[in-house]
Amino acid sequence: MNETRSRNPDASSSIFKPGENCWRVTRADKLALIVDAANYFRMLRCIFLAAKRELLLVGWDFDFEIDMLPGESDADGLAPDGYPNALGPFLEAVVARTPELNVYMLKWNGAVLVAPGRFLPTVALDVFGDDRIHFALDGHHPFGACHHQKIIVADNGFAFCGGIDATEGRWDTSEHLPKDPRRARKNGSLSEPWHDATSALTGPVAQALGDLSRGRWLRATGEELTPPDDVQQIDWPDDLEVAAENVDVAIARTSPPFDGEELTNEIERLILDSIAAAEHVIYIESQYFSAETVCDALEARLREETGPEIVIINPEAALEWLEDRAMHVLRARMIERLRAADHGNRFRIYHPVASDGEPIYVHAKIFIVDDQILRIGSSNLDDRSMGFDTECDIAFEGPQDSVRAFRTRLLAEHLAVSVEKMEERLREKGRLIDAIESLNATEGRALQAIEPPPEEDMFGEFLADTRLLDPRYMPGEMTVAGHGLRPRHFVMIAGAVGAGLLAWLAWRRRTAQR
């Protein structure tokens, strides 16, 4: 492909502007890009066992009953490394073997309502486990918002930042095998194939992510944690491929206005600046596609005579019916707008399917511009991630080979071809869309076009028009009570109504018996 543009390495030419479209720009000694949770969970075990003083776990949810390496337990529930396979017992064993290690786990308080069954093992671990395992719920956000960052930091020097939650339903391999028994849930059902991604980083950037995580802990609990010092650097795992070394990394955040604090929308600004900088290709993987400002920016680029190609990978449908009605009506409107603006055959939106045709759920949050800019993190392309939930992404500019190789690796996975075959076809065709469509199979593992429904139903139209499930704050706005409803709120309301009805019926029965 004709992507030869290179950036001047001096800071003045960088797209990253601390205080505007990112929080900090700092150095990564090493950086890796990890695709799918089977690889991630294996790396987590390696780093947890190597940690000596501090583990910071900041996440949307943690499920301490999941096996980190499904299908690899012995009769005693131990993984091949000799430690318990389940996440909670594994953490207890790690702390027991490491006398100075403290573990701090910060979880979104709303996850208790989304999956209350996962909360009991968490409470048990906190109450009955080692007193060096500390647990807190993060409710420091407006009503309806959620803590969505996914960060893990070990000894202030090795960090993970991305989109993968250590919870049920996330584990899968990059093969996304049909009906893989290792994707079994605790109730015996099988999770759908699941595509996800995160990053691993060492050096000053890991320290910065440690600062961010300790800041979150302080805000949620009022307890200030002191960073560990004089800790030997954790060795880089032998089987974790390095994507870049000695590279400047930007950390960008979203944080809603709360308790007098103003909106932080660095991620949105970084995305818009990246779209404006694109010359050839914008490649996106996201769980949603409904962010109004992002659609406006992409539409403007498609109207240009020689603007970039835009390829978006989304899931076919949302996991919940209500969410699907709201989010994908919005997505359909975005697709129609972009197709109307596309006069150069430069826009595609696909969803991946497994070899048996089952849709693969896309949970990855990736944004790649040309061979230059790569952003990966927790934020989706929806309004919530732009200005309502708490998010954290990392991004870097080049090396060009690393950025191009990661995009090629992702497409090779989706199209079930070798990386070499994908690279060869990109060279032959010159355009990303042409290369994808020349390799795309008509059946089996493939990328299928997402087609909006022919018309909107009234309920979906109402949810989309009101953005009840996809709200946001704009710069200058402050917290509004009740702003933003989620499916769990409807469940809570329905539960309250049901409880009220039962109480009324009981009262009527007692009254009738008098």
Choosing from 214, 245, 276, the residue where a domain stops is: 245
123: confidence class by pLDDT, cuts 50, 70, 90: low
State the residue range of the domain holding 336. Answer: 247-459
241 with 259, same domain: the answer is no
354: closest CA among 420, 441, 287?
A: 441
232 with 262, same domain: the answer is no
266 with 155, same domain: the answer is no
Enter the DSSP assignment of 233: P
3-state secondary structure (DSSP) of residue 433 = helix
231 with 258, same domain: the answer is no
* 480 assigned to some structural domain: no
* 507 assigned to some structural domain: no
Span 404-453, pLDDT tens digits:
999 999 999 999 999 999 999 999 999 999 999 999 999 999 999 999 98
104: confidence class by pLDDT, cuts 50, 70, 90: very high
* 468 assigned to some structural domain: no
CA angle (211, 215, 217) in 5-degree steps: 120
* 381 assigned to some structural domain: yes
121: confidence class by pLDDT, cuts 50, 70, 90: low
Q: Which two tokens stand for residue 138?
A: 């993060």
Give every CB contact of residue 299 below 8 A, 6+ residues apart in sequence: 337, 338, 341
Choosing from 419, 438, 459, the residue where a domain stops is: 459
Span 458-491, pLDDT tens digits:
999 999 999 999 999 999 998 765 454 444 444 4
Determine the average pLDDT of the residues in 370-397.
97
**Model-wide pTM > 0.95:** no
* 5 assigned to some structural domain: no
Q: How many domains does the chain have?
A: 2
Widest CA span of the chain, in angstroms?
87
113 with 151, same domain: the answer is yes
Q: Which two tokens stand for residue 491?
A: 């469940």
Distance CA 26, CA 134 (A): 29
448 with 403, same domain: the answer is yes
* 505 assigned to some structural domain: no
204 with 274, same domain: the answer is no
Does 5 score more than 50 pLDDT? no
We report the CATH number of the domain holding residue 57 as 3.30.870.10
309 with 328, same domain: the answer is yes
pLDDT at position 1? 41
Choosing from 206, 229, 245, the residue where a domain stops is: 245
Q: Torsion over CA of 112, 113, 118 and 124, rounded to 10 degrees?
A: 50
* 9 assigned to some structural domain: no
220 with 326, same domain: the answer is no
176 with 254, same domain: the answer is no
Determine the average pLDDT of the residues in 76-83.
97
Span 214-234, pLDDT tens digits:
999 999 999 999 999 888 899
Determine the average pLDDT of the residues in 378-404.
96
CA angle (26, 31, 33) in 5-degree steps: 130
* 498 assigned to some structural domain: no
Q: Which two tokens stand for residue 484?
A: 């933003």
234 with 318, same domain: the answer is no
pLDDT at position 3? 39
335: closest CA among 386, 298, 388?
A: 298
322 with 188, same domain: the answer is no
